[in-house]
Amino acid sequence: MPLLRILVDGFSLLHAWPELAEGRARHSAAAREALIQELTQYHDATGTPVTIFFDGSGAPKGTPQAHSTREVEVLYSRAGQTADDMIERAAYRLSQLGEVLVITNDFAERDTVNSFGGMAQSCENFLHMMGEANRDMALDLKELNRRERSRFKQPR
């Protein structure tokens, strides 16, 4: 069964990916935007929708509570709520509809997701998956470009 959605603990993934936030604070708006761009690219490579959760307490004033597209949804927790709470609730609800993958380095959260039949994976494993998906997409584009070039070189 294909994945219905990938749920990402945003700050957990930022902490596991220091190169992404190089020269920037890991909780900065610039680091979050870089992560959103990378996960949008991952969606483009795989077609799997992604939801990124951030703790709202780490967001600067004026940050929207939700920033979403059809492909990549970005959510911030509200006061008195954690991103972990939101992830667990979303994973439970979505797992009733299909396969859901939660990305986090929080062992307790992964255990909770696994306890109701969801799938969970470490950030490091997901980064490896992202690298493979990006390489596959680059190879596919290279092949497509090669075919297009050869098509236009042929006389009509």
DSSP for 115-133 reads HTT-EEE-HHHHHHHHHHH
Q: Is a pLDDT exceeding 60 seen at residue 156?
A: no
Domain-wise residue ranges, the chain: 3-153
Full-model pTM: 0.85
Fold (CATH) for 3-153: Rossmann fold (3.40.50)
pLDDT of residue 150: 83
Cα end-to-end distance, the chain, whole Å: 44
Cα 14 from Cα 11, distance rounded (Å): 5
Percent of the chain past pLDDT 90, that is, above it, reads 51
How would residue 70 be classed by pLDDT, with cut points 50, 70 and 90? confident
Q: Does 9 or 29 have the greater pLDDT score?
A: 9
pLDDT band for 18, please (50, 70, 90 cuts): confident
Section 28-56 average pLDDT: 91
The predicted-structure confidence for 76-92, as pLDDT tens digits, reads as follows: 998 888 999 999 999 99
Positive or negative, the CA dihedral 41, 46, 47, 50 is negative
Both tokens assigned to 154: 């042929």
Q: With 60 as the cut, is the pLDDT of residue 64 above it?
A: no
- 99: Cα separation from own chain's centroid: 15
